[in-house]
């Protein structure tokens, strides 16, 4: 059982200035929760922020009542005009989801659950061990809420994984990568005015493509330098950025690229390790990596670089190899024997979904199957236990996320999946113009869940749909 108070505070993120934040328990990222597989955890959230919030455990196999449906609000103490009056909530007075300002319209949803100031979220965590994260999920306002700081990590472990001998203790580092933009006084700017965003063709509004920042934060610190032993480390990487994609590589002082040995994906360990030279990571994706710093002389540095960035957004963080050390860790050739494999022939259904820009509410929005999110409409009904193939087609980059289930990538544009598609995922990065097939079994719980684009601005601008498991 945990208790988390959501509250506003300030923190020194950039040297010498204080940044106002919305936090889980006063820190950004919020407190890291560590759980054991199959041992239920209850997290009591108290909302002391000036706005309603919703907590979702991303990647959690959670009964619908605790999954953080976007209209299932934890209200703040004072909430004048409960059914309207969204003014002043938007960050920095910028237009956010201007075309989709239905605001609290979710309250019209007859199925919207009761709302309260304090809320117990119950997580059975009956699932493969992995790195999960929790973040705000309020309808139309998820992106600015995450931007202001409402995100934290939740690690699930089990005995089988502990026994593998992967690097652990201080040699296991969760890395939550985000980007933010700051004003001169240290305040967060939203949308950020990153010129690279405006250079993209077809972007009429600064937030339409998603909001980028020009400062890269890892675990809330700008471009940190972390001292390491000359040994293997397990880096549990999460891209918690609203919209920024990274293509990560680990580069030594003399320009060598270290192997990124992938041992796990969004939904836990791979069957066997996959070695990458560089690794693309879209918003909400996680990669469980082992990097061997013994390949670098003591005193040397390893920079984590984003090959898609330019200028200072190319740098993510650095490791300084501080000392020689003994290393009893290993990366076994066989990591896991319980990665589900579903065959195409098992699928009872194939569904098609387009993820495209379109018109909504008289402006531009982001649509799934031509429609913007509506909490009162069921978009897809699946039967508990059914295996289905979903074919997802994109216009521009869309990282597509399903609640409740993990899935496997079956194909990309008719060809085989890419090396980084290995294992069980809950978020898949659709590249521009691409068709990606995924396969999963809808098991776990019945109820109303979501699937959506995890570019957080796209999500707020309508690119989300209801998935009813019956
Ligand atoms: Cu990480 Cu529905 O979200
Ligand atoms: Cu999720
Ligand atoms: Cu998108």
Q: What is the pLDDT of residues 413-436, one digit of tens each?
A: 999 999 999 999 999 999 999 999
**302 CA to middle of ligand 1, Å?**
32
Q: What percent of the chain is modeled with pLDDT above 90?
A: 85
Q: What pLDDT is recorded for position 103?
A: 36
| DSSP secondary structure code for residue 298 in this structure | T
| Confidence band for 111, pLDDT divided at 50, 70 and 90 | very low
For ligand 1, say whether the CB of 404 is within 6 Å of any of its atoms: no
**275 CA to middle of ligand 3, Å?**
28
Ligand nearest to the CA of 432: 3
What's the rounded Cα separation, in Å, for the pair 84 and 72?
Answer: 16
| Confidence band for 362, pLDDT divided at 50, 70 and 90 | low
Please name which of 228, 295, 294, 285 lies closest in space to residue 262, comparing C-alpha atoms: 285
For ligand 1, say whether the CB of 58 is within 6 Å of any of its atoms: yes
User: Residue 101 has which token pair?
Assistant: 């300002």
The pTM of the full predicted model, rounded to 2 decimals, is: 0.92
What's the rounded Cα separation, in Å, for the pair 398 and 50?
Answer: 31
For ligand 1, say whether the CB of 57 is within 6 Å of any of its atoms: no
Residue nearest to atom 1 of ligand 1 (CA): 58
Q: What pLDDT is recorded for position 196?
A: 54
Residue 27 has pLDDT above 50, yes or no: yes
For the stretch 152-195, pLDDT in tens is: 999 999 999 999 999 999 999 999 999 999 999 999 998 754 45
Angle (CA) 317 321 326, round 5°? 130
Residue 95 has pLDDT above 80, yes or no: no
The 3-state DSSP class for residue 30 equals strand
**383 CA to middle of ligand 1, Å?**
22
The 3-state DSSP class for residue 388 equals strand
Q: What percent of the chain is modeled with pLDDT above 70?
A: 89
Ligand nearest to the CA of 396: 3
| Sign, CA torsion 455/268/258/29 | positive
In the chain, what are the domains? 2-157 (2.60.40.420), 169-324 (2.60.40.420), 344-469 (2.60.40.420)
Residue 106 has pLDDT above 90, yes or no: no
Q: Which atom of ligand 1 is nearest to 427's Cα?
A: 1
80 burial level (CB within 10 Å; 0-12, 13-18, 19+): exposed
Q: What pLDDT is recorded for position 360?
A: 73
**178 CA to middle of ligand 2, Å?**
17
ipTM of the complex: 0.99
What's the rounded Cα separation, in Å, for the pair 135 and 143?
Answer: 10
For ligand 1, say whether the CB of 401 is within 6 Å of any of its atoms: yes
φ and ψ of 456, to 5 deg: -65, -30
Q: Are 211 and 205 in contact (CB under 8 A)?
A: no
What's the rounded Cα separation, in Å, for the pair 13 and 32?
Answer: 19
| Sign, CA torsion 244/57/169/21 | positive
| Residues less than 5 Å from ion ligand 2, measured at CB | 58, 403
Residue nearest to atom 3 of ligand 1 (CA): 58
């Amino acid at each position: 059982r945990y208790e988390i108070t959501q509250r506003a505070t300030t923190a020194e993120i950039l040297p010498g200035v204080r940044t106002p934040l919305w936090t889980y328990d006063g820190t950004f990222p919020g407190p890291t929760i560590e759980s054991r597989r199959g041992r239920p955890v209850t997290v009591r959230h108290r909302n002391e922020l000036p706005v309603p919030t919703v907590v979702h455990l991303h990647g959690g196999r959670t009964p619908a009542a605790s999954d953080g449906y976007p209209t299932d609000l934890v209200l703040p103490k004072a909430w004048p005009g409960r059914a309207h009056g969204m003014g002043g909530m938007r960050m920095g007075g910028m237009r956010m989801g201007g075309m989709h300002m239905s605001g609290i319209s979710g309250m019209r949803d007859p199925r919207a659950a009761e709302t309260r100031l304090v809320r117990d979220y119950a997580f059975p965590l009956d699932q493969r061990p992995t790195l999960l994260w929790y973040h705000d999920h309020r309808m139309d306002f998820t992106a600015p809420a995450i931007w202001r700081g409402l995100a934290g990590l939740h690690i699930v472990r089990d005995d089988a994984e502990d026994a593998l001998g992967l690097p652990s203790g201080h040699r296991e580092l969760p890395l939550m990568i985000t980007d933010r933009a700051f004003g001169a006084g240290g305040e967060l700017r939203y949308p950020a005015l990153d010129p690279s965003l405006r250079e993209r063709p077809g972007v009429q509004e600064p937030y339409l493509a998603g909001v980028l920042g020009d400062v890269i934060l890892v675990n809330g610190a700008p471009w940190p330098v972390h001292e390491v032993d000359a040994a293997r480390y397990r880096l549990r990487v999460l891209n918690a950025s609203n919209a920024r994609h990274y293509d990560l590589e680990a580069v030594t002082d003399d320009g060598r690229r270290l192997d990124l040995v992938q041992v796990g994906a969004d939904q836990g360990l791979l069957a066997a390790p996959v070695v990458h030279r560089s690794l693309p990571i879209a918003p909400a994706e996680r990669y469980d990596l082992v990097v061997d710093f013994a390949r670098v002389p003591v005193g040397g540095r390893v920079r984590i670089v984003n090959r898609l960035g330019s200028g200072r957004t190319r740098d993510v963080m650095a490791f300084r190899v501080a000392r020689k050390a003994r290393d009893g860790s290993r990366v076994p050739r066989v990591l896991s024997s319980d990665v589900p494999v579903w065959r195409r022939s098992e699928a009872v259904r194939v569904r098609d979904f387009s993820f495209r820009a379109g018109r909504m509410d008289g402006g531009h929005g982001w649509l799934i199957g031509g429609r913007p999110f509506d909490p009162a409409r069921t978009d897809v009904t699946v039967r508990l236990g059914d295996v289905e193939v979903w074919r997802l087609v994109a216009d521009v980059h869309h990282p597509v996320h399903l609640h409740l289930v993990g899935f496997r990538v079956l194909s990309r544009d008719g060809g085989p999946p890419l090396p980084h598609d290995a294992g069980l995922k809950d978020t898949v990065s659709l590249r521009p113009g691409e068709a990606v097939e995924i396969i999963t079994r809808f098991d776990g719980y019945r109820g109303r869940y979501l699937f959506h684009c995890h570019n957080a601005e796209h999500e707020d601008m309508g690119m989300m749909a209801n998935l009813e498991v019956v």
